[in-house]
Amino acid sequence: MIGAAGCPAVFEKVGKAVDRRSVFADERITHKFLLYKIAQMILDSPISIYDETEWIPNVTLELGIAKGFECKACIAFDPTKLSKDVPDDIRGLDRIQYLNLADLEAKLTKVLTDPA
């Protein structure tokens, strides 16, 4: 599981609970170009989760890489923050819509334990 920008503590807690490790690109030092390193991490992960609440460009780029490689990925989004909905470009993608960190934790756990 990759927890992109967002709530690393929640991703870590849920990862431990469901016996999956959260991976963040800034934790792994390599000699590779950052975007290459991230792309490889996406390819190596069974699922990637991208928090698009604040519409951060690099998170959106990482989501695009995952979708381009047809990797399993979904969006996390808090509609009480900056915007009431994700941008039109990604509105049709599966997403975890949450209202607070406890809600995000519960929904991440469900997504990561659901065999579908």
User: How many CB atoms neighbour CB 29 within 10 A?
Assistant: 7
Per residue in 9-31, pLDDT (tens digit) is 777 787 777 777 777 666 667 77
2-113: what CATH class?
alpha beta
Instruction: Count the helix, strand and coil residues of the chain and give each as a percent rounded to the nearest 5.
Output: 45, 15, 40
pLDDT-derived band at 35, boundaries 50, 70, 90? confident
With contact defined as beta carbons under 8 Å apart, do 76 and 50 qualify?
yes
HSE-CB at 36 with a 13 A cutoff on CA atoms is 5
Per residue in 64-102, pLDDT (tens digit) is 999 999 998 888 888 888 777 666 677 778 788 888 888
Residue 24 or 5, more confident: 24
pLDDT-derived band at 4, boundaries 50, 70, 90? very low
Distance CA 23, CA 14 (A): 12
What is the reported pTM?
Answer: 0.77
Domain ranges of the chain: 2-113
User: Mean per-residue pLDDT for 43-68?
Assistant: 86
* Residue where the block lists tokens 């609440």: 53
